[in-house]
């Protein structure tokens, strides 16, 4: 397989975790083919002991043709809405972003004939040999039912097979055909194993991926910049996932998908990645319906969950996690400026599958729909802030003065202190001069009683106003909880249907395996029958002579 070498340069994925995410996407897509896990781990190159990156899944695997399509540029068979990938270059650009070389082992049972294929995409090989084109050596093996073993599958001729095998043995981490085939031992009946080796180094001469600082994680070297501080605000912000996902693969993978199938596991360095639902981090949650007004899809609507992140306002985080077909594209997208603290701590989550992502899935194409969404999310942030910022202790000027005073009193623990009384009334002091005549004294006493009565009236009105606002907020909260309950019920029903679908898929898988065993048994008995038939013919010949 030959391609022009210039294809390798302009489409390389820029962010290293986004490159790993491309490989995780391929594994998630294989859920439809029975995948139950994807494993990401460190792999030690047996040639020189250098660390490499291993990504392995137990999906359907690829047949020889599919592997060649996978390792060629610009091909994709993922046109369905069920798949995350769509451009066909994700595997190549992501692996080339991670390291100079990648070798792929894949086992498949398509068309009832088990096959094994090995392919190598090596920048080192191309540079060392001076190739102007991208040469991707591949070899294939086919299961022989009669010998119960894998034999070489010659797509062209023995010479080409031997040439490709020689390149694999020289430029991959495995020096012989036996070592290459041994990599299939832990793949099982079907699946794919990807090993990226000769990983890239950063400008400081250190390997970009850090396997040593945390044995249960993979970090980006130099990206974890914790500031030594005693300030609670900075400590909380540093430890929140919005900051950790920028240097920790475990944190990044935990929010990479809006929903992970219950039967699927992401295993990072031997330990499951627990999905982190940012919605559970939000206080005073609201579900806002947004209709993007797309021609031909008038009924399309998107639910955005918005709220204050726990720890706000100390947690200096804001923005929207925007997903596309269940896959995170923009984490904590800051659409609104938080001048004077406005919008601080407001976080939202939505799946905007109506907008096209860029080829590297790190942003969206800057279309009219994108601009509309950005403007609506900005409005949503300010609207939510205007309704709820007083709950965090901010002075909400959109509320009546009496209500603002009441909230300030609650924030300071003042209860029914004079904080609930308008300021101008508190400054109306009662005169206490003893030098006045008795009639003036009586007048002053009367005036004082009038002022006190006036204060009491204002206090009563303030309490009534506050009670009205309280009842309004209570009514709104009840409606929101009802809507959230309905949304939760629909989600549970959806999960139930998905589980039933997975059960049917598992039953189908078992039936297919049973059919394969029966076919194998039939082939075995047929061969035995033919052997007996040959023996019978020989006996007949001997009897005739």
- The answer, yes or no, to whether residue 481 has pLDDT greater than 80, is no
Q: Which fold has domain 277-392?
A: Ribosomal Protein S5; domain 2 (3.30.230)
Q: CB–CB of 177/127 below 8 Å?
A: no
- The answer, yes or no, to whether residue 278 has pLDDT greater than 80, is yes
- The answer, yes or no, to whether residue 267 has pLDDT greater than 90, is yes
In sign, the C-alpha dihedral spanning 410, 414, 415, 418 is negative
- The answer, yes or no, to whether residue 77 has pLDDT greater than 90, is no
The full DSSP string for 125-157 is: HHHHHT-SEEE--EEEEEEETTTTEEEE--SS-
Q: Provide the phi-psi class of 361: left if phi over 0, else alpha when psi is between -120 and 50, else beta.
A: left
Give tens-digit pLDDT for 206-216: 999 999 999 99
Please choose, from the candidates 378, 379, 401, 404, the residue with its C-alpha nearest in 3D space to the C-alpha of residue 391.
Answer: 404
- What mean pLDDT is predicted for residues 514-536? 86
- Residue 106, SS3? strand
Give tens-digit pLDDT for 426-472: 233 333 333 433 333 444 343 444 444 554 555 555 555 555 555 55
The Cα 482–Cα 415 span in angstroms is 30
Q: Which fold has domain 2-211?
A: Heat Shock Protein 90 (3.30.565)
* Other beta carbons less than 10 A from residue 407's beta carbon: 21
Ranges of each domain in the chain: 2-211, 277-392, 401-520
How much is the pLDDT for 405?
A: 59
Give tens-digit pLDDT for 95-136: 999 999 999 999 998 777 899 999 999 999 999 988 877 889
Written as six digits, the tokens of 148 are 């119960």
Written as six digits, the tokens of 483 are 């809507």
Give tens-digit pLDDT for 367-415: 999 999 999 999 999 999 989 988 888 877 766 665 655 555 555 554 4
The Cα 226–Cα 404 span in angstroms is 38
The Cα 290–Cα 15 span in angstroms is 30
- The answer, yes or no, to whether residue 149 has pLDDT greater than 60, is yes
Pairing of strands 319-324, 346-351: parallel
């Amino acid at each position: 397989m030959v391609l022009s070498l210039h294809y390798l340069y302009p489409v390389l994925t820029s962010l290293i975790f986004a490159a790993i995410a491309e490989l995780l996407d391929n594994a998630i897509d294989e859920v439809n083919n029975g995948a139950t896990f994807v494993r990401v781990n460190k792999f030690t190159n047996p040639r020189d002991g250098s660390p490499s990156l291993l990504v392995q899944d137990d999906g359907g695997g690829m047949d020889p043709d599919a592997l060649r399509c996978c390792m060629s540029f610009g091909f994709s068979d993922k046109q369905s809405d069920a798949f995350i990938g769509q451009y066909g270059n994700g595997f190549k650009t992501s692996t080339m972003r991670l390291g100079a070389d990648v070798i792929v082992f894949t086992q498949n049972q398509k068309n009832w004939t088990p096959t094994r294929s090995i392919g190598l995409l090596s920048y080192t090989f191309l540079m060392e040999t001076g190739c102007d084109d991208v040469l991707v050596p591949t070899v294939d093996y086919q299961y022989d039912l009669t010998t119960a073993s894998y034999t070489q599958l010659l797509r062209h001729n023995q010479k080409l097979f031997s040439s490709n095998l020689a390149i694999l043995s020289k430029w991959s981490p495995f020096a012989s055909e036996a070592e290459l085939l041994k990599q299939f031992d832990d793949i099982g009946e079907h699946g794919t194993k990807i090993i990226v080796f000769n990983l890239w180094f950063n400008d400081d001469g250190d390997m970009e991926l850090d396997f040593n600082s945390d044995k249960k994680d993979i970090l980006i070297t130099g990206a974890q910049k914790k500031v030594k501080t005693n300030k609670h605000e900075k400590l909380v912000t540093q430890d929140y996932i919005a900051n950790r996902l920028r240097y920790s693969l475990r944190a990044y993978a935990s929010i990479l998908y809006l929903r992970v199938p219950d039967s699927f596991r992401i295993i990072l360095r031997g330990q499951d990645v627990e999905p982190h639902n940012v919605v559970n981090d939000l206080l005073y949650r609201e579900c806002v319906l947004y209709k993007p007004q797309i021609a031909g899809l008038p009924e399309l609507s998107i639910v955005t969950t918005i709220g204050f992140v726990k720890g706000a306002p100390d947690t200096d985080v804001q923005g929207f996690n925007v997903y596309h077909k269940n896959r995170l594209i923009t984490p904590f997208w800051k659409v609104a400026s938080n001048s004077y603290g406005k919008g601080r701590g407001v976080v939202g989550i939505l799946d905007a599958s109506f907008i096209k992502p860029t080829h590297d899935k790190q942003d969206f194409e800057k279309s009219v729909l994108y601009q509309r969404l950005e403007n609506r999310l900005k409005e949503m942030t300010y609207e939510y802030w205007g309704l709820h910022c007083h709950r965090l202790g901010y002075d909400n000027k959109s509320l009546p003065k009496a209500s603002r005073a009441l909230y300030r009193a609650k924030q300071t623990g003042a209860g029914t202190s004079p904080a609930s009384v308008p300021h101008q009334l508190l400054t109306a002091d009662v005169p206490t001069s003893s030098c006045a005549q008795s009639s003036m004294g009586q007048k002053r006493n009367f005036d004082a009683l009038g002022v006190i009565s006036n204060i009491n009236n204002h206090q009563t009105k303030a309490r009534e106003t506050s009670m009205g606002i309280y009842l309004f907020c209570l009514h709104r909260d009840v409606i929101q909880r009802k809507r959230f309950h309905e949304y939760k019920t629909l989600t549970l029903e959806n999960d139930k249907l998905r589980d039933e679908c997975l059960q049917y898929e598992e039953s189908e898988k078992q039936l297919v395996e049973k059919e394969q065993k029966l076919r194998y048994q039939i082939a075995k008995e047929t061969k035995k029958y033919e052997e007996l038939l040959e023996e019978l013919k020989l006996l007949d010949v001997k009897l005739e002579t």
